[in-house]
Structure 1
Amino acid sequence: MPSAAPACPNPYFPLEDGLKLTYRAGSSELLISTREVTSTAEGQKGLLAVDLKGRSGQTEAFCTSEGVRTGLGGLEGTLLSASGMQVEVVAAEGVAVPAPANMVPGSSWRNSLSVKMQPPAGSKMPAGMVFASTFDKEATVVGEEDVTVGAGTFKALKVKNLTTARASRQGAQGRTIESYIWFVPGVGIVKVATGGNTDLELLKVERPVTAKTEPAPVVKKKKGAKL
């Protein structure tokens, strides 16, 4: 029997040093970049940076046999940080993206994120105001389909998400939102849509240019010279 594919690097959330993904997020451009990627005993680790509207957020990302997780609780927490909010992760469980062996139609996974957020400096909101929220997400792989975005047409894995957001209080009522994410092997997320509206669309993929080997110089033999 063929051996199972390695868990890292995870093709659906590649930690590739120098990878830059540019998205359209509403009327703005969002840049997600990966850098300082190194190997670990568990797999890989690196820094995931997000730039949006002149603001930036950064978190550590880890790839293990269980999947990919980040210090800010997945892409959601990282985007909150890039929005300018001061984000403190109270608790995070589960992985952002499971191991490749679990990214098959019908499989599902859960994760949760509890955060405390404060408005950025200069905000019109009262100083010291703190928002506490918990996000519980259940993801299910729907299947493969072709998806067209600004960066081109890809064969992607479509994942359905049910995310419940609620105040971090016991018994608090929550609101559940259905969304879809399209993942492409070797690239990661190419599209996110909620209620028929595209929230995130991949525009460009940039990878570091590897140094090309220079051709050896051609030495012309002098007339009459012997080999």
Structure 2
Amino acid sequence: MIDSGFVGELLGTMIMVAIGIGNGAGLGLKKTYSRTSNNWLLVCFAWGLAISMGVYTASAAGSAGHLNPAVTIAFAICGLFPWHSVLPYLAGQFIGAFLGAIIVIIIYYKNFQITNADEGNNVSIFGSEPSIKSPIHDFIAEAGATFAFVLVLTHLGDFTVGLKPFIVGMLIIAIGLGLGNITFAMNPARDFAPRLAYTILPVPHKGNADWKYAWVPFFGPIVGAILGAGLSTLV
């Protein structure tokens, strides 16, 4: 039997170094979000806090706070979540993401009216767009970031209690700064449903929704989450 100390130190050091060095790569290499956006730290913090608040809300309403089809599917495949709850969770996640996008469209409608696609009224507000468009590489980046996220997530136990939702949010911030500089979706519902809302709703002066790319942030996180949850189950 493999020594548990060895396994724990291996996985922990792997996550630590991947996030730490990944941050260095994001700061040092060309065409990363950290280099091309002065607001990347703000984006990561906003999504981290958004997920923390979402987990708290979901938990209070009676769910396990997944908020992410990749997590739900991976947990079910690895025996960490009952299959009979998968479809209700997926439905809630995709519909909830669509409704969230509607809220943004309503609140910012006047701003959409005065902003053209080349000025920022584009799909990156609603879905993810890679720093360098290379679908296979971007798929690997999505899978890798989600793998790290779910590997850590599975070791938090019930991540809906106490301050754990904030820990989940901090995890998202760390992944975004360290491994999310290429593409940062890690959630099929978070990308697909808002992208759909941007496509079919009357958003003024909107740009192209880029559906040719949409398969990457849909399937990449699912594969990464299955690998992360699978590895956690094995060890």
Which bin holds the TM-score, normalised by the shorter protein? Answer: under 0.3
Give the structure with higher Rg (CA): 1
Q: RCO (CA 8 Å, sep 6+): is it higher in 1 or 2?
A: 2
| Structure with the higher fraction of residues in helix conformation | 2
TM-score, normalised with respect to structure 2: 0.22
